[in-house]
Amino acid sequence: MLDPKHIGLKLPAFQATAEAGRLRFFAQAIGETNPIYIDESAARDAGHPGLPLPPTFLFSLELESPSSAWRDDIGIRIERILHGEQTFAYHRMAYAGDTFTFEGRITDIYSKKGGALSFVVKESRVTNQRGEHVADLRSVIVHKN
């Protein structure tokens, strides 16, 4: 069982840039048909300065965190986890070329099924290169103990 003493743990902040080619690939992979996510002309015609990020793309960028040591510190074994939940709260638009800073922390750890499963709740604040608050991400990792 994972120890709740890790609640409040701040994760190492990191930066990632949203590249236009990756946005197009992501939009196509999720079956997005709105041309503003694939065609820069269509995005500009719709009033955007460039390709906007598809709504769940920040999750992909967050997975690029260069540090996974926090998982070891908590006792998470990668072969025992499942992705349990993901939510997004957006505060402003984000676009291709933006560089984002992800600042995460563990906000809860709890168990179910008599301790057979632990749930780790991670929340991340995302800001852009101008320091503007872009989004809040929340994910739940399920760990089989």
| pLDDT tens, position by position, 63-116 | 888 888 999 999 999 999 999 999 999 999 999 999 999 999 999 999 999 999
CB of 135 within 8 A of CB of 59? no
Q: Could you tell me the residue ranges of all domains in the chain?
A: 4-18+58-144
The residues, any chain, with a CB within 8 Å of residue 53's CB and separated by 6 or more, are 18, 23, 93, 94, 95, 96, 98
CATH fit for domain 4-18+58-144, picks 3.30.70.20, 1.10.1040.10, 3.10.129.10, 3.50.30.10: 3.10.129.10
Q: Output the pTM of the full model.
A: 0.92
